[in-house]
Structure 1
Amino acid sequence: MFTHFDEKGQARMVDVTGKPVTERIAIAEGIVKMKPETLKMILNKKIVKGDVFQVARLAGIMAAKMTPHLIPLCHPLPITSIEIDFEPDEDNSQVKIKTTVKTTAQTGVEMEAMVATSLASLTVYDMCKAVDKEMIIGDIKLVYKAGGKSGEFVRT
C-alpha cells in the first residue's frame, strides 16, 4: 500500500505521530561528467564565478533544508548535520558528489540527501556552463540509510 494516499486515494502526509524518535542517516551520491579541461579549471580554481565546490556545497546544504518546500509530502525535519564531499576523478573526467544527512526524528532524511546532491550537481553545472555546456548530471541515488523501522539499507 502506498502510504501517501488515504483509503479514498487522496494524497496525504503520512502521520508519524506514533513513531519513535530515532537517529537517522542517509547518504546519497551523484556524478557530474565534464570535459577534462573543465575539471582542471575547477581543481585549479580558474572558474571565473568562484570556488565551484564551495558554492555547490552551500547550495546543497540550503537545498537539504528546503526539501519539505520542494517535495510536497516531505516532513520538515530538524536536520542535525549535512556534509557534502566532492571526489574529483581525473581519469574519467567527472566529480562524484556525496551527501550525508543526519537527524534525530520520527522519519528519515533520504529525500534531503538526494535533494542536496541534486542541487549541488546543478550548481556545479551552473558555475561551469560558460566553459562546458556538455556536462552531464546523473546517477543520483541513495547509497545508504539507517534508522527507523525499516532499518539499514546498503546499495550493493
Structure 2
Amino acid sequence: MVDVSAKPATARRAVASALVRIGAEAYSQLERAALPKGDALATAKIAGIIAAKKTSELIPLCHGLLPEYVDVRFERRPPDSIRIVAEARVEGKTGVELEALTAASIAALTLYDMCKAVTKDIVIGPIQLEEKTGGKSDWRRTRTLPEQPRD
C-alpha cells in the first residue's frame, strides 16, 4: 500500500461510466417495470452506492476511503442499452477513482442479475473513468471508447 500519510487532504471527485447492453426485450420490460426480479434501476443504484463504500474490501492495496457522496445515475439508450454514470466525492489524501469505478461496475453487474431471467445475451462494457479532480492533477477523458463490440 502506498504511504499517503504526509499528503494533505484535499477535495477529490471522480466520475466513471459503464455501458450495459441488455437487449430489446429486457429493455422493454425494464421500461414497463415488468422484469421478474423487480425494479432493476433502483436495485442497481443501491448496489453501486454500497459497493463504493466497500471498495477497499474488494481491491487489494486500495486505501480505505469513506466517500462523503456517491451517486449512480442511468441514461436510457433505446432500444437496448443503459449507460451507468457513477460519481464519488471525498475529502482525502488519495483519489476516489476506484470508488466511482466500483460503483459503476457493481451497478452494471446488478443490472445483469436483474435482467438475466429475460436474456443471457447481455454485454457489459466499456467500463471507464470519465474524469477526476483533486490531488496533483485533474483529468478528463478526451476520447470515447467504442460502445459496440467489434466483430
Same fold (TM over 0.5): yes
Structure 1 residues 111-133: Cα deviation after superposition (integer angstroms, max 9, x where no partner) = 01111111000000001101010
- The partner residue of 1:27 within 4, 10, 15 is 15
Structure 1 residues 59-114: Cα deviation after superposition (integer angstroms, max 9, x where no partner) = 111111111010010111121000100101004x2100000000000001100111
Flag as ranges the 4+ runs of structure 1 deviating above 3 A: none
- The partner residue of 1:154 within 137, 140, 149 is 140
RMSD: 0.7
- The partner residue of 1:56 within 44, 56, 75 is 44
Residue in structure 2 matched with residue 130 of structure 1 by the alignment: 117
Residue in structure 2 matched with residue 78 of structure 1 by the alignment: 66
TM-score (norm 2): 0.92
Q: Is residue 37 of structure 1 aligned with residue 28 of structure 2? A: no
Listed as ranges, the gaps of 5+ residues in structure 2 are 143-151
1:19 partner letter: K
Residue in structure 2 matched with residue 9 of structure 1 by the alignment: none
> Which protein has the larger Cα radius of gyration, Structure 1 or Structure 2?
1
TM-score (norm 1): 0.89
Alignment of 1:82-101 (within 5 A): 82-91=70-79, 93-101=80-88
Determine if contact 2:22/2:115 at 8 Å carries over to the other structure.
no
Work out the CA distance in 2 between the residues paired with 1:82 and 1:34: 24
Q: Is residue 120 of structure 1 aligned with residue 107 of structure 2? A: yes
Determine if contact 2:22/2:112 at 8 Å carries over to the other structure.
no
User: How many residues are aligned here?
Assistant: 142
Work out the CA distance in 1 between the residues paired with 2:66 and 2:76: 31
